[in-house]
Structure 1
Amino acid sequence: MARRLSTACCVIAAACLGLAASGMTAWLGATGLQDAPRTQQDVCARPEPGSALEEPAELRSRDGVLETDLSIHDQKLPDGTSRYCYLTPDGKPSPTLRLKPGDQLVIHFKNDLVDLDTATPAIDRPLAGAPICTTRPKADVCASGAMTPISTNLHFHGLTVPPVCHQDDVLKTSIQPDDAPFEYRLRIPDDAPPGLYWYHPHLHGFSKTQVLGGASGALIIEGIERADPSLAGLPERVLVIRDQDLVNPDAPPSKSEPVMTKSQLDNDGDVANSGTGFGKPSKDLSVNFVPVPYPNYPPAQLTMKPGERQLWRVLNASAITYLNLALLVGRTPQQIGIVGLDGVPLQFEGSPSPSVQRVNHIGLPPGARAEFIVEGPPAGAQALLVTRAVDTGPAGENDPNRALVAITTSVNASEPQARLPAHAEPLPRSERPWVGDVAPVRVRKLFFSEQPENPNDPNSPTKFFMTLDGETPKPFDPQSDIPDITVRQGDVEDWIIENRSMELHDFHIHQLHFQLLDWSGVAVNEPFLRDTVNVPYYNGRMLKYPSVRLRMDFRDPSIVGTFVYHCHVLEHEDGGMMGRIKVVPRDTASSTKPLNQQKGEL
């Protein structure tokens, strides 16, 4: 169960504490803040529950460049919950960024966050609503690593780009409200997999707060029809599913649900896993910001032409909520055609996978994406996009069954705003062998674990760990520069990720993708790539810890540098369930601490 984080995990920069009390009053008077307390504005407006779905605004590259201004804002609601949002200069929230391989992405990113602390009346806290530490000495954005409630940065989830400042560094880059717009400038690789990626904050200690509040957006690399020409000409629809604090936390369950025992809560007030598929969820969900709140789950509305084939690009941008999506007509699950996962077509870089795999449901842990073909229901029929219950374990949170989108048909239904090109030139043949056919140079084992700060009090703050086998668990240290793992660029490795805790975890690594080889020792037939995967929970009775085995691909030279791997349940990541990996140039000495350097086997 994701409990209140250990205070040791949230190291807050204290450079501003030297401002003397005698100087504070003079500074406040000079700024006028004593006489003008901040008033809340609806900067992060959201649609009403049950609204028609609108797709995010799109920003497309032109002549090989997508350049835009983007700002992040926050807002405190009357019920005490917080919202976060990305806005374009003309007020469009969380635009979808669309680029082609080889394009340049340039974002002039402005941090417009304000202090949302409303614990005391405004007259007693005249700095509320103003940037914290505006008189501090200027720090180097690329090196400060500052972690405060109003610091932020950007991570481009899934892209294989250098993990350096101004591109995709999340370890040291920290942008403050009084900084000038910060320029992110990165080049999409020529061989980038075409598919769905996303951008979000990745500030250690505050990732969950900002993402849960809504700070996220889709990023699409064009050309998926080149990997599968049968997709050419299809209309495409972007659906971003986010979680948020419950709108109606005190409401009784819907009468349509079976009678449940009273919900048990963890220290964060999140609902514990009921194990039944029903009951109060830990978080509400939204689709393209249309809330679908507990207890009645009024779905967002979508209209399609009868029988129309569309490509849906679906992102689970939740901070902590697992999804298991299904499309129902009546009560019957429909077949959907998966064509891509986590930004990579199923058939890519020599993968032996079919280009389309037909399934009747698809699991998406936090951070994961799926692209699939759907067909509109027959004329007169109605359909529902739902998420089925996900069993997150005895210590997990409650992710029950619920509706998300109600789909009706009309011959006059409007088209989605984007359509794939009608003609597709096939992608060139990959020069590298399929990673699944490459023998790993070594095998490593890592494990997830948790521990209450006070072993005698299971409800005390929880420490979260991700540890290399044979080492003592310790939370991620943001102040350290020592990598937990060192890998040589060009190598292929197998990683075994064990789960020694009693809740589901969600492994993710930056800058690269991997192939899932086996699930708790049982081989799986998944000849395609991911960047996020569930690791099943330990129930206390198993003879060995559950695990996954992953074929890790470090062959791309763009990933040389230092980046992170972690649980993408952001409450766990913020709490210390993260490690640092350094990829060194190919001509550097071998990697550190393998289980078996000779055969790459256990």
Structure 2
Amino acid sequence: MRSLSKVTGFLVCLALAVTWLSGCDEPQPERAASGASPSGQPARGAELQDPPEVVSDHGVLRTTVVVERRKVWVGDRRLWALTYNGRYMPPTLRVQPGDRVELTLVNRVGAKWQGVTTDTNLHTHGLHVSPRQPADDIFISIKPGTTYHYSYQLPRDITPGTYWYHSHIDMYSAAQVAGGESGLIIVDGLRKYLPPSLRNVTEHVIALKDDQIQGDAIKINPLSIQAKTNRTVNGQQNPVIHIRPGETQLWRLANIGANIYYKLHLKGSTFHVIAQDGYPVHRVYSADTLIISAAARYDVLVQGGPAGTAQLETQPFYTGPAGNSFPQVNLAAVVTGGPPTVPARIPSIFGPLVDLTSAKIAGRKTMVYTEKNDPDRFYINGKLYDPNRVDFVSRLNTVEEWTVRNDTQEDHSFHVHTNQFQVMSLNGKAVDPAYAWHETVNILRGQQLVLRIRFADFTGRTVLHCHLLNHEDKGMMSVLDIVDGR
């Protein structure tokens, strides 16, 4: 791993001054109401607060992100956490296609905490940007007391939707993300595909973050995926979301935690999916429940029903004999009330159809997940991750077909950096191209997935891995080198 110590002294002070002037102190939100509901769940808390936003201006987003250990509000408790700009739920970065992002990362983490490295870095998850310095190079290590300047050029044709940013430091990604190092990125442009009557709908971020508690701190190491876990929405404990009867809202659902699954359900309502993993679907589809693995995102339309209160919940979910069993948990109280409105018609056709079914295939690759009865080792093609070894080579401006097989007794997810992919088939059954594009997808135990990737715009070393970060940190990651196709 390369070590970077870009600047000290004047630039660090300048970056910190900018951050403090922007107000990085964690606000102290209203505590959740005391007591519990008859079901034993925490009583509903304060009104949902969308995270603050940093918005691009005239084609450029400039911001500073300070990483430090601070005691902040996490749900309804003050805990020591790993924070971005002094917040457990940091600002959302909001950009337009074609923008440039200039991001200064300041590492103010001091001594090791729970045995976790003080080095860090930042990955813009899902963005189609260069994997080379100074953009999305996840192989770098930013030392404490130093600053690194990231610069990302977004393509004009980057797909709109919800993305996120988080630490991707080797062997300690799970610890740092679980500690709080994660926030959202929104690429605007989804509304242009909506009918005029829906282009001004209320929008909410529903960022799902979870924490395990050890004393007055978030536990970050060692982490057990099965351990009791507290779940928050936008860093709040069981907040209230208001909607009018018949009203349509746009919710950006994002699992930005380290390891656990959500099986989302809202009684009496339907999720109308318009984008997934930062990619607009061609045909809108509806679901009563959505399984959201770690790192996955869904942009959905939700419509208010009759007046009353319903729980946005995660239902019980089982990931297999070698995996984990997650309980039912109430996440937010959705209160429907106020003047009713006539429900708008949900569109059926949405984004453009992009289909690689007839594409010329330049190469085929196979990737197999395995475990060997060792809880601390997870393998791809029989190998543990080595940042100094290239496992796959692909050529720019080509389309490849990959077979991804899960030969374990638990679910895993598949995530590839730099380029999104089209799922072609699952266990031999074709997947409708109208909603087949992802960059993070869950693969059940024993399943086989066939996907196609177009390698466009950018060369360089990048990675693919299981996004249960405990598994990634313990070996389930491979290096992909995208080389010039000429």
TM over 0.5: yes
What corresponds to 2:107 in structure 1? 111
Contact in 1 for aligned 2:258/2:294 (Cα 8 Å): yes
- Residues 25-51 of structure 1 show CA distances to partners (whole Å, capped at 9, x for unaligned) of xxxxxxxxxxxxxxxxx9767754433
Deviation for aligned residue 1:412: 8.3
Corresponding residue number in structure 1 for 2:383: 474
Q: Is the 8 A contact 2:129 2:136 kept in 1?
A: yes
Secondary structure in 2 aligned to 1:163? coil
Return the letter of the residue paired with 1:202. Answer: H
Q: 1:234 maps to which residue?
A: 201
**CA 1:553/1:287 → structure 2, altered by over 3 Å: closer, same or farther?**
same
**Inter-CA distance 157–390: structure 2 relative to 1 (3 Å threshold):** same
Change (3 A) 1:68 1:118: closer
For 1:71-150, list aligned pairs within 5 A: 71-75=66-70, 83-87=81-85, 93-117=89-113, 149-150=117-118
Q: Give the partner amino acid of 1:368.
A: A
Equivalent pair of 1:505/1:569 in contact (CA under 8 Å): yes
Corresponding residue of 2:62: 67
Q: Is the 8 A contact 1:46 1:289 kept in 2?
A: no
The offset of 1:305, in angstroms, is 2.4
Q: How does 1:36-435 map to 2 (within 5 A)?
A: 48-49=31-32, 50-75=45-70, 83-87=81-85, 93-117=89-113, 149-171=117-139, 173-179=140-146, 181-229=147-195, 231-246=198-213, 270=224, 272=226, 282-291=228-237, 299-329=238-268, 334-347=269-282, 354=283, 356-379=284-307, 381-411=308-338, 434-435=355-356
Q: Which amino acid aligns with 2:193?
A: A
Report the Cα offset of residue 268 of structure 1.
Answer: 5.3
Q: SS where residue 290 of structure 1 aligns?
A: coil
Q: Structure 1 residue 339: deviation in Å?
A: 0.2
Q: In the superposition, relative to structure 1, how do residues 247 and 313 fare at CA in structure 2: closer, same or farther (>3 Å)? A: farther
- The structural deviation recorded for 1:242 is 0.9
Q: Is the 8 A contact 1:271 1:398 kept in 2?
A: no
Residue 242 of structure 1 aligns with an amino acid whose one-letter code is: K
CA contact (8 A) 1:87 1:93 kept: no
Matched residue, 2:423: 516
Q: 1:105 and 1:12 mapped to 2: Cα distance? A: 23
TM-superposed deviation, 1:477: 1.2
- Alignment-mate amino acid for residue 379 of structure 2: F
- DSSP 3-state at the match of 1:156: strand
What is the identity percentage for the equivalent residue pairs of Structure 1 and Structure 2? Answer: 31
Which of 443, 449, 452 is 1:535 aligned to?
443
**Residue 550 in structure 1 maps to residue 451 in structure 2:** yes
- Partner Cα distance (2:214, 2:104) in 1: 33
Alignment RMSD, CA only? 3.0
- Asked if structure 2 preserves the Cα contact closer than 8 Å seen for 1:43 and 1:74, the reply is no
- Does the C-alpha gap of structure 1 residues 206 and 412 become closer, same or farther in structure 2, counting only changes over 3 Å? farther
The letter of the residue matching 2:90 is S
Distance 2:89 2:327 in 1: 28
- When normalised by structure 1's length, the TM-score is 0.67
User: Which structure is higher in strand share?
Assistant: 2
Q: Is the 8 A contact 2:89 2:182 kept in 1?
A: no
What are the Cα deviations for residues 102-153 of structure 1, in whole angstroms up to 9, with x where unaligned? 111111210111225479xxxxxxxxxxxxxxxxxxxxxxxxxxxx611011
Contact preservation (8 Å) 1:287, 1:300: yes
For the Cα contact (< 8 Å) 2:81–2:88, is it kept in 1?
A: no
Matched position secondary structure for 1:226: helix
Determine if contact 1:309/1:375 at 8 Å carries over to the other structure: yes
- Answer with 389-398 or 45-54: which moved more: 45-54
What is the CA-CA distance between 1:378 and the residue it aligns to? 2.0
Contact residue 59 and residue 96 of structure 1 kept, 8 A: yes
Please tell me the residue identity of whatever aligns with 1:175. I
- Paired residues of 1:282 and 1:397 also in contact (CA < 8 A): no
Distance 1:477 1:175, change over 3 A: same
> For residues 195 and 159 of structure 2, what CA distance do their matches in structure 1 show?
15
Asked whether the 8 Å contact 2:368–2:406 carries over to 1, the reply is yes
Distance 1:282 1:466 in 2: 29
Q: CA separation in 2, counterparts of 1:532 and 1:410?
A: 36
In the aligned structure 1, how far is the partner of 2:356 from the partner of 2:228? 38
Q: Which amino acid aligns with 1:464?
A: F
Other-structure match for 1:416? none
Aligned position for 2:371: 450
Residues 246-266 of structure 1, C-alpha deviations (whole Å, 9 max, x = no match): 5799xxxxxxxxxxxxxxxxx
What is the letter of the counterpart of residue 448 of structure 1? Y
Give 5+ residue unaligned stretches, structure 1.
1-10, 14-41, 120-147, 250-266, 273-280, 292-298, 348-353, 414-425, 454-460, 468-472, 538-544, 588-602
Q: What are the Cα deviations for residues 213-235 of structure 1, in whole angstroms up to 9, with x where unaligned?
A: 11111111111122344541222
Q: Distance in 2 between matches of 1:68 and 1:436?
A: 40
CA distance in 1, matches of 2:68, 2:417: 25
CA distance 1:443–1:283, change in 2 (3 Å): same
Range moving further from structure 2, 44-53 or 515-524: 44-53
Q: Which amino acid aligns with 1:337?
A: H
Query: Does residue 1:490 correspond to 2:419, yes or no?
Result: no
Question: In structure 2, do the counterparts of structure 1 residues 101 and 80 end up closer, same or farther at CA, with 3 Å as the change threshold?
Answer: closer
Unmatched segments (≥5 aa) in structure 2: 4-23, 33-44, 341-349
Q: What CA distance in whole angstroms lies between the structure 1 residues aligned with 2:202 and 2:331?
A: 21
Do 2:175 and 2:223's aligned partners in 1 also have CA atoms closer than 8 Å?
no
Distance between the aligned counterparts of 2:468 and 2:114, measured in 1? 27
Mapped to 1, the partners of 2:309 and 2:357 lie a distance apart of 41
For residues 110 and 165 of structure 1, the distance between their equivalents in structure 2, rounded to whole angstroms, comes to 17
